[in-house]
Amino acid sequence: MFKRKHATILITYSLVLCSAISLTACSFSDVSYLFKSPAQKQAILHKSPAFWDDTTSVEGSSNLSILHNVAFEGHPYNDIRQFCDNILMVGQGSYNNSIIETDGQSVQYSFDVYNPWSNEITASLAHDKTNCDDYLIKGDKLWLIDSSAKKATIYDKDLKEIKTCKYNPNEYEGNGDTSGPDAGDVPNPGDYYDASQIATSSDGKYALVSGVSPDTYKYVISDISLDDNTVLSTYEGQSFSMSCVDSKGFVIEADTANNIWNYHASDGKDSFFSLPDVVDVALAKDNDMLIRCQDLTSGNSISYYKYSPATGVSSSFSYTPAEADTKTYYSANSVYLHDANCVMLLLYTAQCNPEILIWSLDKGKNDTKAEIKSYNDCDTLLQALRDDGSYVSPYSAIDTGDSTDENQEAMEEAGKDSDYNTYGDEVTLVPDTASYDWGDLSDINARVTALEQKYGFSVYFGPEVPKRIDYYDIQQFKNKDKLSAALDSLTEILGCFPDDFFTQLCYGDIRGMRIYLCGDISSDHSDMINEPSGFVNIINNYNVMVLNCNYSWDFSYTVGHEISHLIDQRLAFIHTYNDESEFSEEKWNSFNPDSFSYDDSYANYNPDDPSNHISGYFIDSYGMTFATEDRSEIFGTAIDDYINGIYDDARFTDDSPIRSKLDYYSRCIRDGFDTKGWPDTMAWESVLTATGAHAD
């Protein structure tokens, strides 16, 4: 009798024990689990996460599951965020049984800390306990932002209030992982201008910092180790973009218009790929990228890819919620759980019925049969996109620097025309010049190749030249003798500039320079010069100079004029980030007559009517259209004087305002360029000296 009673007691105890253990997904046989420390328990759960017990497989999918936890029900979650080792469930609703804001009701935030390993809510911050209009996650702290009061309340990982402090709205860029309101928190070992921490690794050990290099004035993105604040790797020519970072490298969006991304490994190797509708990228283990794609303008489907340049797409899925009375939404963010090797994405409805969609990466099924190809450089990828017809014209996003001032009105006018999408941005009509039969132009091609190798830019001529560049129609120029004469003039003029001069024109995100030798140039757009002898612009991150060889006899002025536009763009860019630089439009205007202002338009310019010309201050009336045209007219004239051995040009006499302008402009150029190794007197400065010497 005693033994039977004892057995009953043991059975009862076992049932209680099993119930307790089941909450942590620990097996019944592992009785020692209850006596382990919290850290030891968490380590066990990381090997066997409890959330899997509440999942059901998605029909027709090899790698998707739905997690439904009763603790989520009735909560207006609409986003999830990685928060230390857990997940922050973000609620934003009107708290009237609907997540959708209605008139007269304020939307407030609530936060729950969800431990996926134990599959339970461990901390909560109700909507009536918060007073914020935004939030950010900084390491293991949650910052709740009250913009009107200009303050932030900081909570620890258990959502316990730590302190309240002021914040600087100029340093605050919206909710998410960030360097935080304290400007001093941004690591900046490169002393970059306008440094901004744009990404932090999930382990908090690495940061991605964007800025402008004070040495080259190029946009840079650097991978920085936060342990010792050292730069591990840097990618030049790229400004702030959607990005992520870990110990092995970083991913950045390199070309928004063409959906181009770059994986920059810590060894400096770049891998470019293109994928449409990318809304999020995360880095997983083994150098894999987790790429989320979603067309936000139509439909309700989502696609995800596990991809690396080395192995291609190893896992993928496409998911569309089943038809129901209420529409299902996706959270803006997803969470990658490294130890569970899965991605979690919140699904929610307006009626507060949240669930989590789980993509298991262990199963490694490429359900969508997707293929993504990577390229070693962006230009090769752009050419591939042109070949398959998916390339997007830069019309809507072109960066013209200071030339924007000249062409802005014309571009806006062009946007109204039906042929705006014929914007000429094709690079060349002969992509493989090595195998092309140049015929009687072979000698010209050899000379062009030598010129390219000397200065590090590209020159296109004859059959290479597209029929449209920018908003201009272009005629090809194939006359051998005239091309040879044009090359003679161009070579002489380029010799007026130091060897590194054109390299230094690659600032910001400009990757290089392209020169086109062509025939007639024409445009029928309003407020543009209809038949210019040349023009410059920035197309696809390249300085582009187009020269009409019919005016090669006047190249000394024309090329000098156009190069001045490129100089202007660099000087204006530098002044944007360094207000102590010599160049400024205000200083330039001080050399003009009182109350004078530029037309900032070509509409009133008439080359046959010099009546508007203010002699002594401007080379001609064309210089009165824009400030940059004023500088280009003066600079082009100075180069022309140098080439032709003119050192007594009356327009540059000692008491001439034009001379004062050139003197100031020359100082600006020396201030805005690295002049180490430059001559004491540059070609354009020769007219400023009492006796100039024409160097051969």
Query: What does the pLDDT look like over 271-311, one tens digit per residue?
Result: 999 999 999 999 988 779 999 999 887 778 999 999 999 88
pLDDT at 201: 87
User: Which alpha helices (DSSP H) does 578-644 contain, by range?
Assistant: 585-589, 627-643
Residue 171 banded pLDDT, cuts 50, 70, 90: low
Residue 97: DSSP 8-state: S
Condensed to tens digits (0 to 9), the pLDDT of residues 469-500 reads 998 999 999 999 999 999 999 999 999 999 89
Residues 6+ away with beta carbon under 8 Å from 504 = 216, 570, 673, 674
- Listed range (28-37, 127-136, 303-312, 334-343) with the worst mean pLDDT: 28-37
Domain range list for the chain = 36-127+276-371, 131-179, 186-275, 393-688
Condensed to tens digits (0 to 9), the pLDDT of residues 395-417 reads 443 333 334 344 444 444 444 44
C-alpha distance from residue 346 to each of 87, 89, 331, 353, 696 (Å): 11, 9, 5, 10, 71
Residues 6+ away with beta carbon under 8 Å from 19 = none
Across the chain, how many H-helices and E-strands are there? 11, 32
Q: Do you know the residue count of the chain? A: 696
Condensed to tens digits (0 to 9), the pLDDT of residues 627-683 reads 999 999 999 999 999 999 998 899 998 889 999 999 999 999 999 999 999 999 999
Sign of CA dihedral 41, 47, 50, 53: negative
For 289, other C-beta atoms within 10 Å of its C-beta total 21
Distance of CA 117 to the CA centre of its chain: 36
Strand partners, 245: 250
Strand partners, 264: 250, 270
Provide the token pair at 266.
Answer: 């810590």
For 111, other C-beta atoms within 10 Å of its C-beta total 25
Which phi and psi angles does 420 have, rounded to 5°?
-60, -25
Q: Identify which of 153, 158, 94 has the alpha carbon closest to the alpha carbon of residue 128.
A: 94
Residue 272 to residue 253: CA distance in whole angstroms = 9
Q: β-strands 512-518, 458-461: how paired?
A: parallel
Residue 197 to residue 514: CA distance in whole angstroms = 33
Provide the token pair at 11.
Answer: 């059975």
- Residue 174 or 406, more confident: 174
Strand partners, 148: none
Q: Are 138 and 178 in contact (CB under 8 A)?
A: yes
C-alpha distance from residue 155 to each of 75, 92, 152, 591 (Å): 21, 18, 10, 57
Provide the token pair at 194.
Answer: 């306008």
Provide the token pair at 468.
Answer: 């449209």
DSSP string, 115-183: ETTTTEEEEEE-GGG---SEEEEETTEEEEEETTTTEEEEE-TT--EEEEEE--GGG--SSSB-S-S-G
pLDDT at 41: 77
User: Chain-wide mean pLDDT for the chain?
Assistant: 85
Q: Domain 393-688: which topology?
A: Collagenase (Catalytic Domain) (3.40.390)
pTM: 0.78
Mean pLDDT of 226-245: 88
> What Rg value do the Cα atoms of the chain yield, rounded?
32
For 456, other C-beta atoms within 10 Å of its C-beta total 13
DSSP string, 373-442: --BSSHHHHHHHHHHHT----GGGG---TTHHHHHHHHHHHHHHSTTGGG-B----S-S-TTTS--GGGH
User: Which alpha helices (DSSP H) does 470-625 contain, by range?
Assistant: 480-494, 501-504, 555-577, 585-589
Q: Are 496 and 639 in contact (CB under 8 A)?
A: yes
Residue with tokens 């059975």: 11
- Listed range (127-136, 150-159, 303-312) with the worst mean pLDDT: 127-136
Type of residue at 372: I
Residue 645 to residue 241: CA distance in whole angstroms = 49
Mean pLDDT of 245-263: 90
pLDDT at 696: 36
Residue 613 to residue 595: CA distance in whole angstroms = 15
Mean pLDDT of 5-32: 39
Q: β-strands 77-83, 458-461: how paired?
A: unpaired
Residue 22 to residue 29: CA distance in whole angstroms = 11
CA atoms within 13 A on the CB side of 503: 12
- Residue 138 or 304, more confident: 304
Distance of CA 221 to the CA centre of its chain: 10
Condensed to tens digits (0 to 9), the pLDDT of residues 217-231 reads 999 999 999 999 999
- Listed range (388-392, 455-459, 609-613, 651-655) with the worst mean pLDDT: 388-392
pLDDT at position 29 over 60: no
Q: Are 264 and 252 in contact (CB under 8 A)?
A: yes
Residue 486 to residue 483: CA distance in whole angstroms = 5
Residue 544 to residue 540: CA distance in whole angstroms = 9
- Listed range (214-223, 379-388, 503-512) with the worst mean pLDDT: 379-388
Mean pLDDT of 227-241: 87
pLDDT at 512: 94
pLDDT at position 508 over 90: yes
Residues 6+ away with beta carbon under 8 Å from 166 = 150, 151, 152, 181
Residues 6+ away with beta carbon under 8 Å from 150 = 166, 167, 169
Return the axis-axis angle of helices 555-577 and 627-643, rounded to nearest 10°.
130
Mean pLDDT of 120-143: 90
Sign of CA dihedral 625, 631, 634, 635: negative
Strand partners, 468: 473
Residue 230 to residue 187: CA distance in whole angstroms = 9
Q: Are 126 and 110 in contact (CB under 8 A)?
A: yes
For 413, other C-beta atoms within 10 Å of its C-beta total 16
Residue 210 to residue 684: CA distance in whole angstroms = 36
pLDDT at 387: 79
Q: What percent of the chain has pLDDT over 90?
A: 60
CA atoms within 13 A on the CB side of 440: 7
For 170, other C-beta atoms within 10 Å of its C-beta total 8
Q: Identify which of 315, 421, 407, 416 has the alpha carbon closest to the alpha carbon of residue 360.
A: 315
11: left (phi over 0), alpha (psi -120 to 50) or beta: alpha
User: Which alpha helices (DSSP H) does 300-402 contain, by range?
Assistant: 378-388
Residue 423 banded pLDDT, cuts 50, 70, 90: confident
Provide the token pair at 32.
Answer: 């020692």
Q: Are 14 and 25 in contact (CB under 8 A)?
A: no
Condensed to tens digits (0 to 9), the pLDDT of residues 57-93 reads 999 999 999 999 999 998 989 999 999 899 999 998 7
pLDDT at position 324 over 70: no
pLDDT at position 384 over 70: yes
Condensed to tens digits (0 to 9), the pLDDT of residues 345-379 reads 999 988 888 999 999 998 778 999 999 999 999 88
pLDDT at 303: 95
- Listed range (103-107, 334-338, 450-454, 687-691) with the worst mean pLDDT: 103-107
Q: Identify which of 549, 562, 559, 555 has the alpha carbon closest to the alpha carbon of residue 489.
A: 555
- Residue 695 or 554, more confident: 554
Mean pLDDT of 128-155: 89
- Residue 184 or 69, more confident: 69
- Residue 623 or 5, more confident: 623
Condensed to tens digits (0 to 9), the pLDDT of residues 438-474 reads 999 999 999 999 999 999 999 999 999 999 999 899 9
pLDDT at 101: 54
Residue with tokens 């995800």: 304
Which phi and psi angles does 311 have, rounded to 5°?
-115, -5
CA dihedral 225, 226, 231, 236 (to 10 degrees): 100
